[in-house]
Amino acid sequence: MARSAKAVPWFLFAAGGTVLSFILPVMIFTTGIAPALGLFTDALSYDTMSAFVGNWLVKLVLFGILTLACWHAAHRLRVCAHDFGIRADTAVAVILYGLATVGTATAALALVSI
């Protein structure tokens, strides 16, 4: 047997899981449920949002959360695939970590261009 490089995605998974456990419920409520209830209409208006996300500190925090969320989900879905009986682990890993990379890059580009 030999030492495995799985430490790297595992740290991203664990860090992501920790951050998400604190922030995810309130985030989903704010951006996904509150608008339908007619709450936070000012905060979610185009002007306020662009000014808010225009702040570099907000950009940084959002980038951190989204990156960790992507990699957390990718790694856990890889385990899920295994648990559902899909044994093509390398292919699954390439696809899921690839998607996480795309997500990270898109988030970075979008944040920079606001």
Partner 1 sequence: MNPRKPYVRPISKTSWFMTQSRYKVYMLHEISSLFVAIYSAILIIGLVRLGEGEAAWQGWLDAVTSPIGVIFHLIAFVFALIHTTSWFKAVPQAMRIQRGEEIVPGKLIVGAHYGVLAAVSLFVLILAGVA
Partner 2 sequence: MSERTIELEVLRYRPEQDQEPFFQTYKVPCEEEWVVLDALNYVKEEMDRTLSYRWSCHMFVCGSCGMMIDGEPKLACKAFLKDYPTGKIRVEPLSNFPIERDLVVVLDDFVEKLESVKPYIIPKEERTVEQGEYLQTPAQLKAFKQYTLCINCLCCYAVCPQYGLDESFVGPAALALAHRYNMDSRDLGRAARDDVVAAAEGIWHCSFVGACSQVCPKDVDPAGAIQQAKFAHGIDYLTSFLPGGKR
Which residues 48-107 are close enough to bind partner 1 by CB under 8 A?
Answer: 48-50, 52-53, 62, 66, 69-70, 72-74, 76-77, 79-80, 83-85, 87, 99, 103, 106-107
Query: Per-residue contact track with partner 2, 5 to 44, x per CB under 8 A?
Result: xxxx-xx--x------------------------------
> DSSP secondary-structure letter at 27?
H
> DSSP secondary-structure letter at 29?
I
Which residues 38-97 are close enough to bind partner 2 by CB under 8 A?
Answer: 79, 82-83
Q: Which does 15 bind (CB under 5 to 8 A by kind): partner 2, partner 1, none?
A: none
Cβ-count burial 2-32 (b if 16+ within 10 Å, e if not): eeeeeeebeebbeebbebbeeeeeeeeeeee
Do residues 24 and 30 lie in contact, with contact meaning Cβ atoms separated by under 8 Å?
no
Closest to partner 2 by CB, 10 vs 29, is 10
